[in-house]
């Protein structure tokens, strides 16, 4: 997963006023300090479990991925797919009642179980996060300048004057119009897009090598969203910063990210470089997502491809593949947990009957499943045995079980 095939269109947006050189931001070359080819972040078999009212809620169930320094990766999925919880887990932002297992290594350092004191130095420093709602993330009683200066002071030993200068510099870097004047304004005086720029400026104060943008543009208008995404891509390239973009929007992921991880019920179900993934979707869930998004080239009043049912209850996950009850290709084979396997170069999916492997509703192994990795397959033997449970509510049909 180290070779990148996707490339960017140049992120030049024609605005040069107020942009400063990344060199003035301190140590921009720090990102390249890691050995080439070494992933910045390695997530292995991450599991998060909450206990609520005696019920165990399995929010993340064995998530694994790697992130190359300086790249942009998208994690997409519906509500409850575990995309936010997994990134909060690696930031150490979950409540202490959450049971986290597995491993997350950032530049070789294990983050799970790291003492809070060390975590605090890392959080907002090397790893920063931007959340969905900028209005709630900012302190409404503090001027935005003071909030940025606070972040700058926390992560550097600049004096008052230096921190102020740096804060204005950051505001210019995120292209906040009239940065010097805005410095003395309160969050309510800014628009949603401007507030999100301020949040990004605060996130950049610690010169992060990894920025996690959790639905950072979801609350914004499409026009503002495009502006913020352009800014993120530009910063990612100029500062050599890796970005994990968490989103429910396939189009957004396809437009900006180099890699895409599709999550369902707390696990990754498909993972590939963006171009590979969308040109050749294999996981029926990803296929269903693509069919359900409104497209400009569809006729008015045309129906959407519908996937029946709802995402599974995380406290009572179905046996085997979590998408089985809704999947048009589901068979009894799917009662075995399909492992996330690299079936094609750089293209990983977790499915026994991927799109394009022939018709579904036909038990038994079939072409396209490729070699199995027994180590991953056996990750939860409890789910694999006990074949007495009938296929149950599986095998719904969709308008056409069309395959590509």
Partner 1 sequence: MTAVEERPAGDRADSRTPLLSARNLVQEFPVRAAGGVKGGVVHAVSDVSFDIYPGETLGVVGETGSGKSTLARSVIQLPRPKSGVVEFQGKDLMTLGRRELKESRRQMQMVYQDPFGSLNPRWRVTEVVEEPLVGHGWGTTTSRRRRVEELLDLVGLDPSQYAKRRPFELSGGQCQRVAIARAIALEPALIVADEAVSSLDVLIQAQVLNLFEKLRREMNLSYLFIAHDLAMVKQVSDRVAVMYLGQLAEIGPSEAMYRSPLHPYTSALLDSIPRVDPLTGKAHRPVALPGEPPSPIEPPSGCRFRTRCPRAQIKCAEEAPALVEHQPGHRVACHFPLDLPMPEVPKMTGGATLAPGAVPGESAA
Give contact residues for partner 1 (rule: CB under 8 A).
Answer: 9, 13, 15, 78-79, 191-194, 221-227, 229-230, 248-252, 254-256, 274-275, 277-281, 288-308, 310-311
In whole angstroms, the minimum distance from the beta carbon of 47 to partner 1 comes to 23
208 vs 322, beta carbon nearer partner 1 = 322
Residue 212, strand partner residues? 129, 244
Half-sphere exposure (Cβ direction) of 1: Cα atoms closer than 13 Å? 26
1 vs 254, beta carbon nearer partner 1 = 254
Distance in angstroms (rounded) separating the CA atoms of residues 289 and 260: 14
> Exposed, middle or buried: residue 40 (CB in 10 Å: 0-12, 13-18, 19+)?
buried
- DSSP SS3 for 211: strand
In whole angstroms, the minimum distance from the beta carbon of 93 to partner 1 comes to 23
In whole angstroms, the minimum distance from the beta carbon of 111 to partner 1 comes to 29
In whole angstroms, the minimum distance from the beta carbon of 77 to partner 1 comes to 9
Q: Which residues 6+ apart lie within 8 Å of 100 measured at CB?
A: 46, 47, 48, 89, 94, 112
Backbone angles phi, psi at 73, to 5 degrees: -120, 145
Q: Are 210 and 128 in contact (CB under 8 A)?
A: yes
In whole angstroms, the minimum distance from the beta carbon of 387 to partner 1 comes to 28
10 vs 97, beta carbon nearer partner 1 = 10
Which helix (H) or strand (E) is 172 found in, with range?
helix 160-173
In whole angstroms, the minimum distance from the beta carbon of 211 to partner 1 comes to 19
161 vs 301, beta carbon nearer partner 1 = 301
43 vs 220, beta carbon nearer partner 1 = 220
- DSSP SS3 for 77: coil
295 vs 378, beta carbon nearer partner 1 = 295
Pairing status of strand 127-130 against strand 210-214: parallel
């Amino acid at each position: 997963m180290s070779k990148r095939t996707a490339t960017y269109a140049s992120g030049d947006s024609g605005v040069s006023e107020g942009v400063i050189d990344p060199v003035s931001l301190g140590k921009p070359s720090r990102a390249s300090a890691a050995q080439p080819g070494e992933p910045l972040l390695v997530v292995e078999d991450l599991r998060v479990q909450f206990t609520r009212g005696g019920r165990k809620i399995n929010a993340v169930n064995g998530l694994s991925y790697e992130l190359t320094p300086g790249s942009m990766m998208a994690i997409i999925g519906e509500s409850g797919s575990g995309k936010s919880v997994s990134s909060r887990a690696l930031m150490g932002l979950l409540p202490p009642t959450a049971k986290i297992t597995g491993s997350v290594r950032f530049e070789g350092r294990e983050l799970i179980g790291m003492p809070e004191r060390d975590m605090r130095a890392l959080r907002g420093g090397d790893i920063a996060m931007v959340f969905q709602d900028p209005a709630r993330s900012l302190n409404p009683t503090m001027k935005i300048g003071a909030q940025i200066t606070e972040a700058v002071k926390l992560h550097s030993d600049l004096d008052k004057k230096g921190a102020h200068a740096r804060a204005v510099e950051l505001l210019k870097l995120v292209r906040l119009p009239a940065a010097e004047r805005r410095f003395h304004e309160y969050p309510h005086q800014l628009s949603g897009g401007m507030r999100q720029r301020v949040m990004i400026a605060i996130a950049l104060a610690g010169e992060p090598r990894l920025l996690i943008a959790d639905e950072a543009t979801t609350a914004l208008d499409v026009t503002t969203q495009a502006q913020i995404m352009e800014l993120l891509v530009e910063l990612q390239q100029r500062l050599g910063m890796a970005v994990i973009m968490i989103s429910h929007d396939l189009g957004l992921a396809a437009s900006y990210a180099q890699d895409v991880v599709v999550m369902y019920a707390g696990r990754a179900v498909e993972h590939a470089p963006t171009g590979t993934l969308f040109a050749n979707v294999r996981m029926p869930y990803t296929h269903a997502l693509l069919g359900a998004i409104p497209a400009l080239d569809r006729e008015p009043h045309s129906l959407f491809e519908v996937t029946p049912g709802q995402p599974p209850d995380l406290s009572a996950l179905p046996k085997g593949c979590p998408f089985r009850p809704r999947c048009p290709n589901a068979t009894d084979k799917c009662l075995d947990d399909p492992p996330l396997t690299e079936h094609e170069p750089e293209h990983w999916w977790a499915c026994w009957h991927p799109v394009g492997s022939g018709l579904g509703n036909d038990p038994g192994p079939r072409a396209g499943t490729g070699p199995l990795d027994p180590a991953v397959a056996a990750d939860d033997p409890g789910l694999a045995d006990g074949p007495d449970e009938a296929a149950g509510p599986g095998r719904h049909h969709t308008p056409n079980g069309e395959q590509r």
